[in-house]
């Protein structure tokens, strides 16, 4: 299920569906606004994290895509503490913006994936190469649980590189046999494995994602 062939087969069979018609404009983000909001909403520690985030993006703006994947994955995995939504947000399932994630300094797998996705966009990685991927993750005792990772696709049908908060390194999908992809998405489309027809109502399925996109715009992204 988690082999490279599985990921490639699911990608080849996937059907791209227009989700919201959102286009993220990252050429002129208002990161000074993001910085100000970090200080106002969350305090000095959050403002320091956002400043470090901005410095990382500036320092590595001319790096290769693979180097960008590595430094972004390291930044969030090392700086942010994993915690479940009911503890952080008093909700069963909340998708945080990068500012909210860095401001609280804690979050779950969706929050890590969204923050990494947006950061790589800001660093110039093309949107069509990035997808947030819902997977089934095999855990101790052969149990599986829902999980989200970020995938980088050098080409549309290529094996993705996987950025995950569960492990420190970026690895190709063929080395993540513990993950089985279910569907993937970004700001422009939804890919459902094996689908022959478009989803009936993809916006309802991913309403939390629409909310994150709206809040990011308000926060300077």
Q: Per-residue pLDDT tens, the chain, 221 aa: give them.
A: 445 555 554 544 444 444 444 455 444 689 999 999 999 999 999 999 999 999 999 999 999 999 999 999 999 999 999 999 999 999 999 999 999 999 999 999 999 999 999 999 999 999 999 999 999 998 877 688 999 999 999 998 889 999 999 999 999 999 999 999 998 888 888 877 644 333 433 444 678 888 999 999 999 98
* pTM, rounded to two decimals: 0.87
Handedness of CA 125, 4, 136, 199 (dihedral sign): positive
CB 103 within 8 A of CB 42: yes
CB 34 within 8 A of CB 220: yes
Domains: count for the chain: 1
> In this structure, what token pair is assigned to residue 172?
């190709």
Which structural domain range is residue 42 located in? Answer: 4-218
Q: 19: domain CATH number?
A: 3.10.620.30
Element of type H or E holding 1: none
C-alpha span between 31 and 46 (Å, rounded):
14
C-alpha span between 85 and 121 (Å, rounded):
25
C-alpha span between 206 and 12 (Å, rounded):
22
């Amino acid at each position: 299920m988690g082999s490279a062939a599985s990921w490639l087969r699911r990608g080849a069979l996937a059907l791209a569906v227009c989700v919201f018609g959102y286009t993220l404009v990252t050429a002129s983000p208002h990161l000074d606004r993001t910085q100000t909001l970090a200080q106002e909403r969350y305090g000095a520690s959050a403002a320091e994290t956002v400043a470090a985030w901005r410095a990382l993006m500036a320092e590595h703006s001319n790096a290769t895509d693979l180097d960008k994947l590595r430094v972004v994955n390291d930044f969030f995995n090392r700086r942010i503490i994993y915690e479940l939504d009911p503890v952080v947000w008093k909700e069963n399932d909340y998708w945080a913006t990068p500012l909210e994630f860095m401001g609280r300094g804690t979050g779950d797998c969706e929050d890590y994936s969204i923050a990494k996705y947006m950061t790589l966009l800001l660093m110039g990685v093309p949107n069509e190469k990035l997808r947030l991927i819902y997977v089934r993750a095999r855990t101790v005792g052969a149990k599986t649980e829902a999980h989200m990772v970020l995938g980088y696709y050098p080409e549309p049908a290529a094996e993705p590189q996987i950025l995950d908060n569960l492990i420190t390194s970026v690895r190709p999908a063929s080395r993540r046999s513990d993950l089985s992809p279910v569907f993937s998405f970004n700001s422009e489309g939804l890919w459902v494995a094996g689908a022959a027809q478009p989803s009936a109502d993809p916006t309802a399925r991913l309403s939390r994602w629409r909310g994150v996109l709206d809040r990011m715009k308000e926060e300077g992204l």
